[in-house]
Structure formats: structure tokens, C-alpha cells
Amino acid sequence: MESSANFCTHCGKRLAPSVEASAVPALPLPSPPSGYGRVSRHLQLVAILWFVYAAIRLVDVFWLYAVGRIYIPSFIGSIVSMSHPLVQHYPFGWLLSSSLAFIATWILFWSVLQLLAAWGLLERAPWARLLILVLAILSLLRFPLGTVLGIYTLWVLLPAHSGAEYARLARHA
């Protein structure tokens, strides 16, 4: 339909005189929902905090390996050598050393996952949000640092509008 026409080309009704678009007052845009932009404002900080948390956990791994492989066997060996000869062959040192090595390996696995998830957040990888949410829920049990980091991560990334915002950021990355 032409802008200068006085009749509708489809139904034939007389049209009111056209009003210039500039004369129409602009309608106010709806305000964004509460928390809009929270992900984009906090995503880098969340990722950096997860890097720091994983680094702290890697220090734990180092100490568990050092204590479990170096100090425990020599300490147990000195105690056993002073005791009764029948006790010398009991594998306390080996059992304790192996247990600490297993715990250190377990913590190392989770630390590597945390580093991977933090890197994924910085790169805005689509899979990183889900992985970091799972890690955040699990970290709630590690009081106090894990609990605080888990709560902050869940506050930033868990709401539905945060998921939509993260998906939009991931598409544009």
C-alpha cells in the first residue's frame, strides 16, 4: 500500500491521513528483568576464582604426595624399627602411603576438571556452564572456600535467565 493512498488496497476502506513516523512518540522499552547482565558482569571473576581455587587444591595434592610418599614411610619405619620384631613386617607405612596417594590423585582429578571448567568459562564454551554448576554444587561441601565459591557461582550462573544470557554469550564468542 502506498503511503499517499487514501484507500486500503485490500478492503477498500478509507484510511485516516498518514502520520509521520517522527511525530509518533516513542514507547518506553520494557525494563530488563532483575539480574539481567549478571553473567556478563561476573563471568570473568567466577572463572578467575575457579582458577585460584583449583591452584589451592593442587597445592593440597603436592603436600599429600610429599607427605604420603616421603615422610609417612620414613616416620612409620622409625617407629616400627623401635618396636617388637613381629610388628616390623606389618604394612602400616605402605597402606597409609598408598591411601594418601589415592586421595591426592582423586583431588588432582577434580582440580583438573575445575581448571578445565574455568578455562571453558573464559572461552565461553557452551559446555562450561553445566560443568561449573556441577562442580559448584559439589564444592559446597568444602567449607569455607568451596562453600563461598559454590554459592557465588550458583548465584551467577544457575537462574534460567542466566542460562539464556550465557548461551547468547557463547554464540557470540
Domain layout of the chain by residue ranges: 38-172
Q: Does residue 104 carry a pLDDT above 70? A: yes
pLDDT category, 86, cuts 50, 70, 90?
A: very low
pLDDT number for residue 1: 45
Q: Which three cell numbers stand for residue 18?
A: 498518514
Q: Within 10 Å of residue 42's Cβ, how many Cβ atoms?
A: 17
Sign of CA dihedral 45, 50, 51, 53: positive
pLDDT digits (tens, 9 = 90+) for 31-48: 555 545 889 999 999 999
pLDDT category, 105, cuts 50, 70, 90?
A: very high
Alpha helices in the chain (DSSP H): 38-66, 72-82, 92-123, 128-139, 145-157, 160-172
The verdict on pTM exceeding 0.75 is no
pLDDT greater at residue 108 or residue 65: 108
pLDDT digits (tens, 9 = 90+) for 1-30: 455 557 677 676 777 665 554 555 565 645
Q: Within 10 Å of residue 36's Cβ, how many Cβ atoms?
A: 14
pLDDT number for residue 80: 55
Q: Is 122 within 8 Å of 16 (Cβ atoms)?
A: no
Rounded Cα distance between 168 and 124, Å, is: 10
Q: Does residue 92 carry a pLDDT above 70? A: no
Rounded Cα distance between 165 and 37, Å, is: 7
- Vertex 107: Cα angle to 101 and 149 (nearest 5): 155
pLDDT number for residue 148: 97
Q: Say which DSSP state 51 is in.
A: H
pLDDT number for residue 98: 78
Compute the mean pLDDT over every residue in the chain, rounded to the nearest whole number.
Answer: 80
pLDDT digits (tens, 9 = 90+) for 141-153: 999 999 999 999 9
Q: Is 7 helix (H, G, I), strand (E, B) or coil?
A: strand
pLDDT category, 99, cuts 50, 70, 90?
A: confident
Please compute Rg for the chain using Cα positions: 31
**Dmax of the chain from CA atoms?**
113
What percentage of the chain exceeds 70 in pLDDT? 65
pLDDT number for residue 65: 83
